[in-house]
Structure 1
Amino acid sequence: MKNNYFTILGIVLCLFMGCNSDDEDVKAVENMPDWFKIEDKPGEINHLIYGIYKDYGVTIFINDTLGYEELGEDAYGNPVVHTELFNMGYYVYGTYTDGRMRLSSDTVAMIIAVNMIKDRVIPYLPEESVYRPLSFLLADSILLTETISYTPVTREVNVYGKGLRGIVVGRLNAMKEMEQDELNMLGGEILAVKSADWILEFCVDELEDYYKITGEDQYGKTSTESPFSPAPKPEELGFIRRVDALISGRKYMKNPDRKQDIQDYVTVIYAYRGEESRFYELYSTYPKVIDKFKLMRPIVEKYEIANGIK
C-alpha cells in the first residue's frame, strides 16, 4: 500500500513539474523579440523609415535580415545566435519558394520608394485587419518562377504579397527613372494585393455585372495573333493589359484571369484616386474599360468602409 502511495505521489509531482515547464515555455514565447519594431539608426534612410514607423506604425525594411537573438551557449561554450530573416515565401505550414528577390543598395531609390509608400499606400491601409500587411520590404527586383504548360518560366514582377511576413516591393532598379504616374501605379499595385482578396470573397454578387462587361469566356483566353488575323487590343475587351503565356515552348499573350483583372482595376482606381477624369480621358475610346472602372469604384469603397479606411 505504501509503495502505491509513493508511486501516485511521484506521478503527481511529475505532472506538476510538467505544468511548470509549460508555463516557462509560454513566458519564453512572450519575451520573443518584436522583429517588426524599427529602431532609429544613423543615416537618412534609417531616420526616414523610423519616422514612418513612429508616426504610422508601418514597418519598412531595406534588408532581409530582421535581427538576431542570443539563445545561450552550445556544449563547447560557443554562443548560439538565431538570425531572423524576411523569407518572402513564408507561409503558415512552412515555406514555398516560387520567387526570389535581389536587395538594393541604392539609398536614393529607397528614399523614393519610402515616400511613395507614405503618400500613396499608407493613407489607404486598414487600421487593424488581416488585410493590413505586417511590413514592407524594399527590393531591387523580384523574380517570380511559374510553371506554364509544364515549363518553368521566370519573370520580373513589381510586387510580391503571398508570404506572411509582408509585401515585397520591387522595381527599385528603375525607381529613379519613374514618372509620377508610374509611382502612383506601383502604389496602387501594392494596395491591390490585399484588397483584391477581400473583394473576391465578399463582393461575389457585385462582380457578376463586372464580369459580364468583358464576357466570362474571355478571362485567361490566349490571344494568338498574326499579320492576317490581329487579336483585339486588351482595352477593346475591357482589360487594362495582357500577361505572358507559354504554349508548347512558344510565347503568347493571354488575357488576365479574374483575380489579376480585379487587381489591375483596383490598381488604377488607387493610382488615379482624385484624378478620375484623367483616367476617363486616357481610355475615352474604350467604353468597356470605362464601364468596369466605374463598377469597381463602389466595390473598392465597400472594401474601405468594411476595413475602417478613411
Structure 2
Amino acid sequence: MKAKILFLGYICGMFLLGSCYKESDISPSYMDRNWYILEDSENPLDHQRYLVYKEYGIPIFYKDTIGVQDRGVDAFGEPVIYYEVIDPDYTIETMYKKTTFELSDQEDALIEGVKFIKDRVIPELISPVLYPRCFLLVKKVTLSNLSSYEGNCFRGMMTTLVSHVEKLKDMSDVELNRLAVEVVGEQIGAYLADSCIVELESFINVSRKEVNPNGSLYAFRLTGGTTPKMAPVANFGFLSFDRKEANNANTCQTVTEQRDVMDYVTEVYMNDDAAFKEKYKDYPYVLKKYDLMKKVVADMKARFK
C-alpha cells in the first residue's frame, strides 16, 4: 500500500513539474515543412511548373536552393537562416561526390525544359512508383569518378538531373527522344535493379555466370592481359563501360549491375529493335540480354497497368 501511494505521489509530482513550463519554453521543430510542394504563380515558368505538379505531384526545379527559413536567433543573438538545398549526390551510404552542374537562368529555355519533362518523360513513367522525388533542370552536368565527362542526366536519391536545357529548342526530334529515354532509363532501371531482383535474374546471370564461368564480370577490370582495351565491351554483353579510368589505355572496367540494367532499359525504350539488332548483330550476349530486358519491361508495364 505504501509503495502504491509513493508511486501515485511520483506521478502527481511529474505532472505538476511539467505544468510549470510556460508556452514560451516551447520552440518549433521546423520539421513539418514540405519543401517539395509547389504553389501557383503569375510567373510563366513557375505557373508551368505548378501545372505539372498539380497533375502529377512531381516538382520540377531550376534552382538547387529550393527554400529559405528564418529559424530565429542563436545563443549569441545572431540570426539563424536555414537553406534547403538539393544535393544530387546525397545517399545514406556514402558522401562520395559524383556530380557537378551548372544552372540556367534562361527562362524561355527552362519553360521548354518543363514541357520536355511533361510531354516526353512523365508519360513513360506509368506509375508514381517510378517517379523521382523531383527533377532539377540544368544547363550542364559533369559526372565524375577518377575522370570527368559530360552527362545527359543523373538519378540521385533527392533528385534527377536533366541536362542540356538550353539546347532543347535546337535539338531534332530524334535527339529529344534519345535524351528523354535516357532519363526514363535511369528512373525505371533503378527501380528494376532495386525491386525486381527475381525478374532480372536471367538477365543478370548472362554477365554474372554465362560469359565467364569463373565469375561475374560486373565491375570487373579488363586489362591488356585479358583483352585489348580497344575490344568492345559488347563482346562481354555490355553497352557501356565504367569511366573510372577513361584516359588509361591499358585498362577498362565494366559497369555495375544497376548501370547495366539502366543501359538496357534505355535501349528498350528507344523502341527500335531493327536498328539495335543491326548495330549489335555480331555480339550474341548483347542480343540475348536485350531480349531478356524487353520481357522484364513488358512484364513491369503489365503489372502497373
TM-score class, shorter-chain normalisation, is 0.7 to 0.9
**Partner residue in 1 for 2:35:** 35
Q: Which moved more, 1:6-15 or 1:237-246?
A: 6-15
Cα gap change, 1:297/1:102 in structure 2, threshold over 3 Å: closer, same or farther?
same
**Partner residue in 2 for 1:60:** 60
Aligned partner of 2:175 among 149, 171, 182 = 182
* Distance in structure 2 (CA, Å) of the matches to 1:180 and 1:242: 27
**Partner residue in 1 for 2:117:** 117
Contact 1:161 1:168 in 2 (8 A): yes
* Distance in structure 2 (CA, Å) of the matches to 1:67 and 1:186: 29
**Partner residue in 2 for 1:233:** 232
Q: Which moved more, 1:261-270 or 1:106-115?
A: 106-115
- 1:72-87 matched pairs, under 5 angstroms: 72=72, 80-87=80-87
Does residue 11 of structure 1 match 2:14? yes
Q: 3-state SS of the aligned residue for 2:243?
A: strand
Cα gap change, 1:215/1:257 in structure 2, threshold over 3 Å: closer, same or farther?
farther
Cα gap change, 1:280/1:68 in structure 2, threshold over 3 Å: closer, same or farther?
same
Cα RMSD after superposing both structures: 3.9
* Distance in structure 2 (CA, Å) of the matches to 1:250 and 1:277: 33
**Partner residue in 1 for 2:211:** 215
Cα deviation for residue 132 of structure 1 reads 2.7
Deviations 1:23-81 (A, max 9, x none): 9868x64xx33311222334443232222112222210011121223334567887654
- 1:122-133 matched pairs, under 5 angstroms: 122-125=122-125, 127-129=127-129, 131-133=130-132
* Distance in structure 2 (CA, Å) of the matches to 1:135 and 1:247: 31
Aligned partner of 2:163 among 170, 181, 189 = 170
Cα gap change, 1:300/1:205 in structure 2, threshold over 3 Å: closer, same or farther?
closer
Contact 1:133 1:166 in 2 (8 A): yes
Alignment-mate amino acid for residue 86 of structure 2:
F
Q: Which moved more, 1:56-65 or 1:279-288?
A: 279-288
* Distance in structure 1 (CA, Å) of the matches to 2:133 and 2:91: 13
Cα deviation for residue 84 of structure 1 reads 1.7
Give the structure-1-normalised TM-score: 0.73
Structure 2 unpaired stretches of 5+: none
Q: 3-state SS of the aligned residue for 1:90?
A: coil
Q: Which moved more, 1:294-303 or 1:211-220?
A: 211-220
Deviations 1:138-197 (A, max 9, x none): 112223332xxxxx433333322233x221222336545543333323322223334333
Contact 1:236 1:286 in 2 (8 A): yes
- 1:1-310 matched pairs, under 5 angstroms: 9-15=12-18, 29=31, 32-72=32-72, 80-92=80-92, 97-125=97-125, 127-129=127-129, 131-146=130-145, 152-163=146-157, 165-172=158-165, 174-201=167-194, 202-204=196-198, 206-209=200-203, 211-212=205-206, 215-216=211-212, 217-219=216-218, 220-222=220-222, 224=224, 231-246=230-245, 252-270=251-269, 272-273=270-271, 275-284=272-281, 286-306=283-303, 308=304, 310=305
Contact 2:245 2:253 in 1 (8 A): no
Percent of residue pairs bearing the same amino acid type: 27
Contact 1:101 1:141 in 2 (8 A): yes
Structure 1 unpaired stretches of 5+: 147-151
* Distance in structure 1 (CA, Å) of the matches to 2:165 and 2:88: 17
* Distance in structure 2 (CA, Å) of the matches to 1:100 and 1:278: 33
Cα gap change, 1:250/1:283 in structure 2, threshold over 3 Å: closer, same or farther?
closer
Cα deviation for residue 224 of structure 1 reads 4.3
Give the structure-2-normalised TM-score: 0.74
* Distance in structure 2 (CA, Å) of the matches to 1:73 and 1:139: 34
Cα gap change, 1:254/1:126 in structure 2, threshold over 3 Å: closer, same or farther?
same
* Distance in structure 2 (CA, Å) of the matches to 1:255 and 1:7: 66
* Distance in structure 2 (CA, Å) of the matches to 1:167 and 1:70: 28
